[in-house]
Amino acid sequence: MTHLPAILKRGERARLFPVLADTSKEGRTLSIFLSCLQNVDELGRALLASIDVRPGARSRIECFTEVGLHKCGAKANLRPDGLILVTTGAKTWSALVEAKVGNSDLTTDQIDSYVELAKLNGIDAVVTLSNQFAPLPAHHPVQGTSAVRKRIALNHWSWMYVVTEATLLLNNGDVEDKEQRTILQEMNRFLLHQSSGVKDFDQMPSVWPELVSKLQAGGTVASNSVEANGAIGAWHQAARHLSYVLSRQLSTDVEVRMSRSHAADPAARQKAALQTLAADALLETTLIVPNAAADIRIAADLRKRSVTLSMRLRAPDDVKSTKARLNWLLRQLVKSDTKNLHVRLIWPGKTPTSQHSLEALRTDISLAFANRPDQTVTSFEVLLVKDLGVRFGQRKNFIGDVEAALPDFYEQVTQYLKAWQAKAPKLPSDKSDPSNVDVAALREDLEIQAQD
């Protein structure tokens, strides 16, 4: 191999059609992906931007597989799966790549070894790919303790994240070059084939049935327990999986909402979720759909064995009565199937919320305000409640049922709801109204008075 970068002792340029043994599933999948990363401009820019690397129009992306580095130290037997180089003028950004497919998971020792190797060779980052999901590329699914990680960027792309980004680029017509578009289509077709070893998130961890059974029976779980941490880690992966599913269905980028502090500190996000699970037996996440009336909140109640999807809207201010405000909401849901749909009314101050099924409110709207004649509702929540029963505690059925509920809720609720917006003020219709002042004429009168 000629023209290898200085840091490489050996390596092969990533091939779109790699010639590898049938047993080398990881090598084949990674080579095809890296070849597309360097040859499909929009894919390279989109994925690299997700880890804060932004190639310019004149930047060159190069990818290598089966690499060997000149400096190995005590890790002479360690061979990274790949290397990414982004060259812009005299500057080069580099990243080691480690990939897993099928049921193989990344490990802490493995990641720490590659981070050490990157530091030894002056490489900027380590990027991993596997079927493990991460809330953000900077939130690695493997929690490590290596202090070196603070100096070497560690990022992760799940394979389904790659598929989702490619799907959005294709569906939105963002890939202009015909040949590059064809290559990207073929990459997606390959990755989605079972032979590639790429899998979607489809089950909770082995501790899930026991945890659900314990909480449903009235037990408690410590926030620092193994089963609680395992459930939270899987739930965060499930949330990202759900955002990818809806992204592909809507051809738009659906994101998981999190605070700035949680985005910057995955450990803080984990701790907050653990506290909610320990205190309320709840797993929660929120999805941001562009241009939707509100975010979609998803909550799994381990004691009730139910899943609730909801959206909250502010009641309109241009009508005064609860009946008129509720009619505003019901008109938007006139095409919705009432099965499992409920409306929660939020009242001012400390007044408890009230809740009724959508079917009941359609039959008799006065149910909503019969006991509160002197109060006016301020906000609404529309909820889809799924009682999963024994299926809630089954690892695969739980994920499958939540995944099925999301597009159902979107179809029955999200696509119909519109947020209330105040109307622009109008000019007075009565021209003789004394408040309708001609400013120019007023200024002229004041100048004349001043001269007098």
Confidence of residue 224 (pLDDT cuts 50, 70, 90): confident
Nearest to 154 by CA among 198, 118, 109: 118
User: What is the per-residue DSSP string for 194-242?
Assistant: GGGT--------TTHHHHHHHHHTT----TTSHHHHHHHHHHHHHHHHH
Helices assigned H by DSSP within 9-107: 25-39, 41-49
Is it the case that residue 420 has pLDDT exceeding 60? yes
Report the amino acid identity of residue 107: T
Cα–Cα nearest to 262, from 220, 227, 241, 232: 232
- Helical (H) or strand (E) element with 65: strand 60-69
Q: Which two tokens stand for residue 171?
A: 């569906």
User: Mean pLDDT in the chain?
Assistant: 90
What the block records as the tokens of 61 is 């992306």
pLDDT of 435 > 70? The answer is no
Mean pLDDT (whole number) for 107-124: 91
- Asked if residue 198 lies in contact with residue 163, where contact means CB atoms within 8 angstroms, the answer is yes
Mean pLDDT, to the nearest integer, of 225-249? 94
- DSSP string for 141-199: SS----GGGGTSEEEEEEHHHHHHHHHHHHHTT----HHHHHHHHHHHHHHTSGGGT--
Q: How far apart are CA 39 and CA 44, in angstroms?
A: 8
pTM above 0.75, yes or no: yes
Per-residue pLDDT, 60: 94
Q: How far apart are CA 129 and CA 65, in angstroms?
A: 14
- Lowest model confidence (mean pLDDT) among 2-16, 77-91, 113-127, 383-397: 2-16
- Pair type for strands 153-158 and 125-130: parallel
Higher pLDDT, 73 or 39: 39
Collapsing DSSP to helix, strand or coil, 67 comes out as: strand
Beta bridge partners of 343: 356, 382
For the cut 90, the answer to whether the pLDDT of residue 5 exceeds it is no
Name the nearest CA neighbour of 303 among 227, 213, 237.
213
Which amino acid, 156?
Answer: H
The single-letter DSSP state of residue 252 is S
- What per-residue confidence (pLDDT) applies to 2? 46
CA–CA separation, 343 vs 367, rounded Å?
12
Percent of the chain predicted with pLDDT > 90: 69
- Encode pLDDT of 256-310 as tens digits: 999 999 998 888 999 999 999 999 999 999 999 999 999 999 999 999 999 999 9
State yes or no: pLDDT of 147 exceeds 50. Answer: no
**DSSP secondary structure string, 274-324?**
HHHHHHH-EEEEEEE-TT-SSPEEEEEETTTTEEEEEEEEEPPSS--SHHH
